[in-house]
Amino acid sequence: MTTRRPPDNTLHQRILKDLEGKIVSGAWPAGHRLPFEVDLARSYGCSRMTVNKVMTELVRAGLIERRKRSGSFVLEPKVASAVLEIPDIQQEVETRGLCYAFTLDRRTRRIARAADQRHLDLADAGPVLALTCTHFASGRPFCIEDRLINLATVPDADSADFTVIPPGQWLLQQVPWTAAEHRIQAVNAAGPVADQLRLDPGAACLVMERRTWGGDGPVTHVRLTYPGDRHSLVARFEPSAP
Amino acid sequence: MTTRRPPDNTLHQRILKDLEGKIVSGAWPAGHRLPFEVDLARSYGCSRMTVNKVMTELVRAGLIERRKRSGSFVLEPKVASAVLEIPDIQQEVETRGLCYAFTLDRRTRRIARAADQRHLDLADAGPVLALTCTHFASGRPFCIEDRLINLATVPDADSADFTVIPPGQWLLQQVPWTAAEHRIQAVNAAGPVADQLRLDPGAACLVMERRTWGGDGPVTHVRLTYPGDRHSLVARFEPSAP
DNA sequence: TTGCCAAAAATGTATAGACATAATAAACGG
DNA sequence: CCGTTTATTATGTCTATACATTTTTGGCAA
């Protein structure tokens, strides 16, 4: 069985791959000026609009820079960013062929303390929900979740039953689109954390903190602690546009 | 002084922001069918092509899905990926107002061992260059670099002087565009590593491994070890297209 | 009913032309 | 020689139109 891949015999794709190839292969090094739109259009026997759309994509992909009156130039290669995959915990566990489960260990409703305000990026005190969960993979602790939910923007969270659905999944369903900021660190497991994850005290753990904003302001802050030796994050970079 | 921001009063941008707003605000929830191209074109008083380009961008951004004959639909929100910032080490040190320096601790030319082949994603044995560097921030160890360079694709590396320029920067200048795969882990510093970074043995360290491919095959593999308590990685996600 | 075929509907791709915008280069006047 | 104006040039945006492609729908016949 071959993977179903779109043929992409379109002129657009042909030109895109062609120019992209010239750039990533080094045939056109950084600083090189590409042919003008009109010339490319003529040489490919197509209209300028078609070439223009391709060039616009190359700009998006960060391969070229365009200057009016001067032309289009190949940029310096940059590995300055990569796409980090952040899978859902349940999905991640099940992908490994393990059985997923979770427990809600603590649930507290309170007025945001100074630390809560800092974590949630809140300007002033308001009601928040503090949750602690443990996620399991086939009975083994997989990850600890410490979460704060801003009840000012997600009031329904107060009446949600987080023993049935993990708060992360509930929020994903509830709140539409969000912006997020992640911070990844390595820490030594303190005593209680080590116990909870069944690790030796001081074992290295991967900690991912995520802050999330919706249209109405800060939504949630979560701190996920994974055993460092069993877990890794993956990020990829491709010069070509996907 | 205000930040120089393009006005983007273009119709294209106006339509894009408009539709984007409807989606991220939740006014059009997941599964909602947007108006047809022709209707949007009429309501904005523009041609279908203009609307089409906007819709194409929304697809790229992962906000909508388009099905022929059926229409365009808002997708489920996904925080499944984020953009990870991977700054150059020197730049990172200097951004913190510290003084950058590095030492080349070891340099070995050899035929790729089994482990080297695995690290570099090589099919067969060939000449490789193994380097170990220490990067310093104002005299304090900042990061350990263990690198393999595939001399089959980068023969010039054999004659480069890596006591003058860090191998990472040299490669960035030398090899054009590359694809890369990153793996991030937390580990406990083993004895020698702890000594080198001047940490207590067993201290948590953030390890980033990067494999890099160019047009001619595997280029390099690098393992960067940072003190976990002093370093963190940042990744961001924005629903809107940049 | 079932199976097949044709029409309709929506998006996908491409064109040729128009005018706007911005940056450079050339011409010009002091 | 210098600063200003003007022309040129390449890209940016948009239009109106055309035809291709894909999927659904509905009709027709076995």
What is the domain-level CATH number for residue A220? Answer: 3.40.1410.10
- Indicate the pLDDT class of residue A5, thresholds 50, 70 and 90: very low
- Indicate the pLDDT class of residue B78, thresholds 50, 70 and 90: confident
- How many domains, in total, are found in chain B? 2
Please check whether strand C approaches the CB of A49 to within 7 Å: yes
Residue A240 has pLDDT above 90, yes or no: no
- Indicate the pLDDT class of residue B198, thresholds 50, 70 and 90: very high
A193 with A110, same domain?
yes
pLDDT tens digits along A69-121: 999 999 998 777 899 989 899 999 999 999 999 999 999 999 999 999 999 99
CATH number where A52 lies: 1.10.10.10
- Indicate the pLDDT class of residue B160, thresholds 50, 70 and 90: very high
Distance between A133 CA and the closest CA of chain B, angstroms: 20
A114 with A55, same domain?
no
A89 with A157, same domain?
yes
**Residues in CB range of B200: below 8 A, 6 or more apart:** B189, B194
Nearest to B70 by CA among B23, B27, B37, B28: B37
Q: Which nucleotide is nearest to A41 (CA to C1')?
A: C15
Map tokens 């089409």 to a residue: B52
- Indicate the pLDDT class of residue B81, thresholds 50, 70 and 90: confident
| pLDDT average, residue stretch B134-159 | 97
| pLDDT average, residue stretch A50-65 | 94
Residue A242 has pLDDT above 70, yes or no: no
Taking the mean position of all CA atoms in its chain, how far away is CA B178?
11
**Residues in CB range of B29: below 8 A, 6 or more apart:** A176, B74
pLDDT tens digits along B55-77: 999 999 999 999 999 999 999 98
Query: CB of A196 within 8 A of CB of A134?
Result: yes
pLDDT at res. A185:
95
Cα(A35)–Cα(A27) distance, integer angstroms: 14
Please check whether strand C approaches the CB of B55 to within 7 Å: yes
ipTM of the predicted structure? Answer: 0.86
User: How much of chain A exceeds pLDDT 70, in percent?
Assistant: 95
User: How much of chain A exceeds pLDDT 90, in percent?
Assistant: 82
pLDDT at res. A9:
80
Residue A8 has pLDDT above 70, yes or no: no
Cα(A137)–Cα(A143) distance, integer angstroms: 9
Cα(B56)–Cα(B52) distance, integer angstroms: 6
Q: Which positions of chain D lie under 7 Å from any protein Cβ?
A: 8-18, 21-24
Residue B34 has pLDDT above 90, yes or no: yes
Residue A198 has pLDDT above 50, yes or no: yes
pLDDT at res. B220:
97
pLDDT at res. B154:
96
For the segment 11-50 of chain B, residues whose CB is within 7 A of strand D = 11-12, 45-50
Alpha-carbon distance values, B206 to B115, B229, B231 (Å): 21, 9, 8
pLDDT at res. A3:
32
Domain boundary, last residue among A74, A106, A128? A74
pLDDT at res. B63:
94
Q: Which nucleotide is nearest to A67 (CA to C1')?
A: D11
Chain B hits for A85, CB-CB cut-off 8 Å, are 80-81
pLDDT at res. A7:
47
Answer yes or no: is B3 within a domain: no
| Helix A37-44, helix A48-60: angle, nearest 10 | 120
Q: Which positions of chain C lie under 7 Å from any protein Cβ?
A: 8-18, 21-24
Residue A1 has pLDDT above 70, yes or no: no
Nearest to B216 by CA among A240, A17, A241, A24: A24
Taking the mean position of all CA atoms in its chain, how far away is CA A82?
10
- Residue B205 host element (H or E): strand B204-214
- Indicate the pLDDT class of residue B40, thresholds 50, 70 and 90: very high
C-alpha angle A121/A136/B202, rounded to 5°?
A: 75
Give the CA dihedral B166, B170, B172, B176, nearest 10 degrees: -160
Answer yes or no: is B4 within a domain: no
The residue range of the domain holding B24 is: 11-74
Answer yes or no: is B154 within a domain: yes
Torsion region of A152: left, alpha or beta (phi above 0 gives left; psi -120 to 50 gives alpha): alpha
Of A26, A184, A238, the CB nearest to B176: A26
Domain boundary, last residue among A74, A101, A128? A74
- DSSP β-bridge partners for residue A110: A128
Answer yes or no: is A160 within a domain: yes
Nearest to A119 by CA among A14, A219, A228: A219
pLDDT at res. A241:
54
Find the DSSP H helices in A64-158.
89-95, 114-120
